[in-house]
Amino acid sequence: MFEDSTFESGNRIKSKSGRWMLVTGIINGSILILLILIPLIYPEALPHNAMLTVLSAPPPPPPPPPPPPPPEVHVVKVQPEMMNNQLTAPTRIPHDIKMVAEKEAPPSAGFGVAGMEGLGGGGVPGAFGDMKSAPKVQAAAPKKVNISGGVAAGMLLDKTMPMYPPIAKAARVSGTVVLQATISKTGTIMNLRVISGPAMLQQAAMDAVRSWRYRPYLLNNDPVEVDTTVNVVFSLGG
């Protein structure tokens, strides 16, 4: 024994603890597997009351109470009192409501003005009677109207061709000059101004249009002033 405790035994000392541990692990594992499989194979073996407690859902909460009905409103009409032909506020609220019947207004004798009985039945002459005798109201004609450039071109009587400025011709400048003009009752040009167009051609266009003459524009057989636009075309090929 001293030799076995002080020197290497050379595997002469053998122990059985390894085998016992293996056997014990197999037994414990088998018991654990049985405990897991028994409830799965035989579910009726589980306690019924405990399963109901675990699996049952809690009851829903009770519904809220209904809202209370609205309070009743009693409307009491208060008849105002008269004092010196003036309305005064009531001093107390009466318990009983009295119905006051208002007197009907006397029937009217007719439509008219006091003191005009001698003008035909007490009425206003011409109001509801003979409408033909009423004077006719005619709207006044406007002092000035607007017409398009095409209408104004059809009224043109005397047209002077514009002179092409030499500086604009040398610079090869061409285009259309648009002018705003007022044609008077006699057909002459007034209030002439430039709206658009090349700057080199504007003065020549205004000088030519000032001498143009138009036929007077008639509205209800009366001559009136008109506002219109005039287009003056400058072309190098013309």
DSSP 180-221: EEEE-TTS-EEEEEEEES-HHHHHHHHHHHTT-EEPPEEETT
CB 144 within 8 A of CB 182: yes
Burial label for 86, CB within 10 Å (0-12, 13-18, 19+), is exposed
End-to-end CA gap in the chain: 146
Of the candidate ranges 53-67, 71-85, 152-166, 215-229, the one whose mean pLDDT is the lowest: 71-85
Other Cβ atoms closer than 10 A to 205: 25
CB 213 within 8 A of CB 230: no
Position 63 pLDDT exceeds 90: no
Burial label for 152, CB within 10 Å (0-12, 13-18, 19+), is buried
What integer pLDDT is reported at residue 137 of this predicted model?
59
What is the pairing mode between strands 222-234 and 144-146?
A: parallel
What confidence category does residue 2 fall into, taking pLDDT thresholds of 50, 70 and 90? Answer: very low
Q: Which residue has the higher pLDDT, 6 or 82?
A: 82
CB 230 within 8 A of CB 182: no
Could you report the per-residue pLDDT of 15-33, keeping only the tens digit for each? 567 788 888 889 988 888 8
Strand, helix or coil for residue 234: strand
Mean pLDDT of 130-144: 62
Burial label for 95, CB within 10 Å (0-12, 13-18, 19+), is exposed
Q: Using CA atoms, how far apart are residues 193 and 200, in angstroms rounded to an integer?
A: 15
What confidence category does residue 237 fall into, taking pLDDT thresholds of 50, 70 and 90? Answer: confident
